[in-house]
Amino acid sequence: MLVLGIETSCDETGVALYDTAHGLLSHTLYSQIDMHSEYGGVVPELASRDHIRRVLPLIEQALQTARRELRQVDAIAYTQGPGLAGALLVGASIGAAMGFALNIPVLGIHHLEGHLLSPLLSKPAPDFPFIALLVSGGHTQLMRVEGVGRYELLGETVDDAAGEAFDKTAKLLGLGYPGGAALSALARQGRPGLFKLPRPMLNSGDFNFSFSGLKTAVLTLINKQAMTEQTRADIALAFQDAAVEVLAGKSLAALSQSGLSQLVVAGGVGANRQLRETLSARVATMGAAVFYPELEFCTDNGAMIAFAGAMRLQADGRQAERANDGRFTVKARWDLEMIDQP
């Protein structure tokens, strides 16, 4: 079964083709970072317009790379939510229209389910069940994953997501947008232990997170310093140390309490090198295993949407038989626990 995946939830247009017999055949991606960096953040209207310009050429490119024709596609999966409503409408409308014209099934996929399942694209891949840390600019959650569509929320952030805190802290340090990667690069020049920042909710006894106070602590620290390039690097490292310690501590506590032996990390912050090194080292001492998506699949992409669609179709063959009437919906807000089991 050949599935076309379309991702347009925010500021990246992603398209991919996944074959259930041969794996991922192609994936193409266009990032709007350069456009939005002029404004210091994502401008929803500009994002939507750019998706309109990019998505059809990317579909053609994905087909050419995979050496497939549109008529060979068996199903289409698009990101239904959560995300920016206008951006979601681009992928949803194009996916539904193409599905109607081809008379093939069209599935709306939860954006976070795509991230959650993306490590299964790598080798080796985890088996169900596992604990998952979803950590990105918009979400920080710990989930117990029993199977496709079977997700239990263990804990989540009560304010800023981890990626959001990285970006806001980077802005405080005078770095550009998006700031997470730039902050991590700067932190590599920092001197360990020079500054100590709080570890919010690390010992709260639950699996919830909080990063707003950590960002405020950084601001207070900056206001007390004579800022030099080295001081900026030292503060960046102190922030990253604190954030990574909280993320790792909560994840390992959830893994230990669950009795499971597999941890999956997904989302943009999952590309952070210090987080990966810390988790890999600490999980190994538990006799467990940790799995990450390839770096190119940490950020938003069409491959994870195509793959999630394929897994849902394999789990429930009835979805492949349902009639496609061209209608579609998007969900700007959508809890992962509210999606249907296949």
126: number of Cβ within 10 Å:
21
pLDDT tens readout for residues 184-224: 999 999 999 999 999 999 999 999 999 999 999 999 999 99
Provide the residue ranges of all domains of the chain, joining segments of one domain with +. Answer: 2-116+300-338, 128-292
pLDDT tens readout for residues 81-94: 999 999 999 999 99
Predicted pLDDT of residue 39: 85
Residue 306 pLDDT > 80, yes or no? yes
In CATH terms, the fold of domain 128-292 is Nucleotidyltransferase; domain 5 (3.30.420)
pLDDT tens readout for residues 31-70: 998 899 888 889 999 999 999 999 999 999 999 999 999 9
322 pLDDT band (50/70/90 cuts)? low
- Cis before 124? omega within 30: yes
Label the pairing between strands 75-81 and 2-7. parallel
Q: What angle do CA 61, 97, 110 make, to 5 degrees?
A: 80
Residue 318 pLDDT > 80, yes or no? no
Predicted pLDDT of residue 162: 94
pLDDT tens readout for residues 131-146: 999 998 888 999 999 9
Determine the average pLDDT of the residues in 242-271. Answer: 96
Residue 25 and residue 19 in contact, taking contact as beta carbons nearer than 8 Å:
yes
CA 224 to chain centre: 35
Predicted pLDDT of residue 49: 97
CA distances from 242 to 121, 150, 192, 226, 275 (A): 30, 31, 12, 22, 11
> Does CATH number 2.130.10.10 belong to domain 2-116+300-338?
no
Percentage of the chain surpassing pLDDT 70?
Answer: 98
Label the pairing between strands 12-19 and 23-31. antiparallel
Low-confidence winner among 41-55, 289-303, 307-321 (lowest mean pLDDT): 307-321
179 pLDDT band (50/70/90 cuts)? confident
Determine the average pLDDT of the residues in 260-270. Answer: 94
Residue 29 pLDDT > 80, yes or no? yes
CB within 8 Å of 4: residues ≥ 6 apart: 15, 16, 17, 59, 62, 73, 75, 76, 77, 95, 98, 306
Paired tokens of 157: 């952030």
Query: Do 2-116+300-338 and 128-292 agree at the fold level?
Result: yes
Residue 323 pLDDT > 70, yes or no? no
H helices of the chain, where?
Answer: 33-37, 44-66, 85-102, 111-117, 162-172, 180-187, 212-223, 229-258, 273-285, 302-315
314: number of Cβ within 10 Å:
15
Paired tokens of 85: 């409503």
Distance CA 176, CA 166 (A): 12
The mean of the pLDDT values for the chain is 94
pLDDT tens readout for residues 5-23: 999 999 999 999 999 999 9
Residue 278 pLDDT > 90, yes or no? yes
